Chain A
Amino acid sequence: MAINSILSVKDLTISFNTFEGEVNAVRGVTFDLKEGETLALVGESGSGKSVSTKAITQLLPQRHTTISKGEIWYHDHDLLKKSSKEMKKIRGKDIAMIFQDPMTSLNPTLTVGRQIAEPLIEHRGMTKQAAKVEAIALMRKVGIVAAEQRFHQYPHQFSGGMRQRVMIAIALACHPKILIADEPTTALDVTIQAQIIDLLKELQAEFATSTIFITHDLGVVANIADRVAVMYAGKIVEIGTVDEIFYNPKHPYTWGLLASMPTMKMDNDDLYTIPGSPPNLLNVPTGDPFSSRNMYALEIDFQEEPPMFKVSETHYAATWLLHPDAPSIEVPEEIKRRNEQFVSILAAKGADSDE
């Protein structure tokens, strides 16, 4: 599997200077985005998933942000070293974004058509006329009917799902190499969410865009991702293929996330919960920040943060439970059930490759 990485984030460390002190929002995040894949970043609010990706496009408020360490490699450039002028040429062209709330990320005073045409004129040097033709074609492509008429309408005349389609049209206008989708379906109803996810998958296949998909909804992740990175307290605590994360998770936090979601098959037992709440990143506790909520925590968890342990070529997790000296433990029922599924999926895959 020699798939090239299109983007490499290395040891990214970001803090915010606030009234109360320094908030360590991102504490050494490392990941690769491979060509054509969808990488999902999963985590709770404050885990650093949005901050990490905003650093890629330099969208963090400069006055209050300190990026103390790290590199972000795109082709042969370190994006962190780009001036804001240079970044303007990349943002929207090579790297495009879709945000959660399509109402606040569209300009209410400009027609939708003008907003879609803008990147075409700005980045692709089109004339106004050509941009209009292309914009209408894009609107059709993302499933907006009566595109000629709607070209002249304003965002408030569109429903939530349709606005998100407009955002997607803007993002894809310049055929970006990388798409960063930050909770693009969270504000939408489930049926609309399903439509938008299908649309994103379709367009991604067509344009061969590599995607970073940020969400807290594990159901959406299971549907859209090739690989998954689970974030907690400003770090990636587990990363692997979608099957590895959902059927063979190794980090107790991932266990908790998976077990605390009710599935349709579930009976009326109490839901598994992760006790407590995420740590305050103003004062990061010593040891593993998850240890106080972790029923499997070992003594060492309170003293030293675990490094990434390798599970397979594609699967890594930061938990001391993977250390050779760690005691064996009883995993939650829900995870046992998932592990059994993993065995049968592996068997099915093995059978496929034998043929």
Chain B
Amino acid sequence: MNKNPIMQIKNLKKTYNTGKANEVRAVDNISFDIYEGETFGLVGESGSGKSTTGKLLMKLESMTDGQVIFLGESIQNKRSRHDLLAFRKNIQMIFQDPYASLNPKMTVKDIIGGPLEVHRLVSSRKERDQVVYSLLEQVGLSQSFANRYPKEFSGGQCQRIGIARALALQPKFIIADEAISALDVSIQAQIVNLMRQLKQEANLTYLFIAHDLSMVKYISDRIAVMNRGKILELATSDDIYHVPLHPYTASLLSAIPEPDPESERNRQRTTYDESKFTYEQDDPAVGLFEITDKHFVYCHKDEVVGYKEKAERLKQEIMI
């Protein structure tokens, strides 16, 4: 995989109700890079700030502070319609609820063809329809769907329509926010396979936001674990699962039920005691530290040695 960052996120912050009693630091000073061609998983429980992060990167929300560089350009300064159009041609989103994110009054043809017209990528209706047909085929739907309405389709089919719409502009980067969690198990697998296949065909980069760790592990190259607006751990997906260093990651992993009665009977859950991992606000000695190669943990600089030992220990356990 080549290591050119397609997006660099530096000290990104989003604070709601700044200065009031109910101030919420939804995204609290996070930094990471997303490389071209990778699938980056962002996991966390509700309220962790993962969806807000996704919206900030798409400019659907404005950031409080920080910098986001996409394809070499800072996104803050993009305010004019012209700039925003150019920006969003390369970055698209797939949403959680396939019914709520498709306009019920529009035909599938208009939904998928909409972005093409807004961006003036087609010169005639006929040309637009041709593109729509080939997009439908790409996501595994028949051309005959084009003149029908979203309500006529199942959840999985609607999600395919949502994916076709995201692909219409041939973006480089796609943010999928809980794109499969509303679907049935057998349909989830179909959509995940489709997303993987499209990624290869169209050379896409994904930011895959989800709470379901087993799916995220399956689809992602690297994973960041978020909690209360902070990234607590960032590593390759293998490392996150085999060498989880932060206790919060370990507790999340231990809570995922597996479809295997025998391992469920022997399951040991670990609980996360948040009070032990709360630091002074804005303490300069606290941050994401690289513990082993490309494996980062949010901690105090004095704790780094301890995490290094832990990593060593866990790695040896795997060897045995």
Contact = CB atoms under 8 A, between A and B. Distances in A.
Interface of A: 44-45, 160, 189-194, 197-198, 216-223, 242-243, 246-247, 256-258, 260-264, 266, 268, 270-275, 277-278, 341, 345
B255 A193 contact: yes
Most buried by B among A275, A277, A345: A277
A277 B98 CA distance: 15
B262 to A, nearest CB: 7
Contacts of B189: 260-261, 271-274
A347 to B, nearest CB: 13
Given A223-B257, A271-B192, 18 more contacts: A45-B155, A189-B45, A189-B211, A190-B45, A190-B213, A190-B252, A194-B257, A219-B257, A221-B259, A246-B261, A258-B259, A261-B189, A262-B217, A263-B214, A266-B218, A271-B218, A277-B156, A341-B262
B259 A246 contact: yes
Interface stretch (B78-86, B167-175, B180-188): B180-188
Interface string B269-294: 10010000000000000000000000
B185 A191 contact: no
B251 to A, nearest CB: 6
A273 B103 CA distance: 29
A200 to B, nearest CB: 13
Contacts of B259: 218-219, 221-222, 246, 258, 261, 263
A273 B185 contact: no
B229 to A, nearest CB: 16
Q: Which A-B residue pairs are the 5 nearest by beta carbons?
A: A219-B257, A260-B189, A262-B218, A218-B259, A189-B45
Main secondary structure, interface of B, reads: helix
Interface of B: 45-46, 154-157, 184-190, 192-193, 196, 211, 213-215, 217-218, 241, 251-264, 267, 269, 272
Contacts of B154: 277-278
Contacts of B193: 270-271, 273
Given A190-B211, A246-B261, A268 B188 contact: no
B10 to A, nearest CB: 29
A193 B213 CA distance: 14
A345 B186 contact: no
Contacts of B187: 44, 277
Nearest to A45: B184
21 contacts: A44-B184, A44-B185, A190-B45, A191-B251, A191-B272, A194-B254, A194-B255, A194-B257, A194-B269, A216-B185, A219-B256, A219-B257, A222-B261, A246-B260, A246-B261, A263-B259, A268-B218, A274-B186, A274-B190, A277-B154, A277-B187
Contact of B260 (A190, A263, A278): A263
A217 B214 CA distance: 12
Given A223-B257, A270-B193, A277-B157, A262 B215 contact: yes
Contact of A217 (B241, B254, B257): B257
A219 B258 contact: yes
A75 B192 CA distance: 47
Contact of B186 (A190, A256, A263): A256
A278 B190 CA distance: 13
A270 B257 CA distance: 21
A264 B238 CA distance: 10
B271 to A, nearest CB: 8
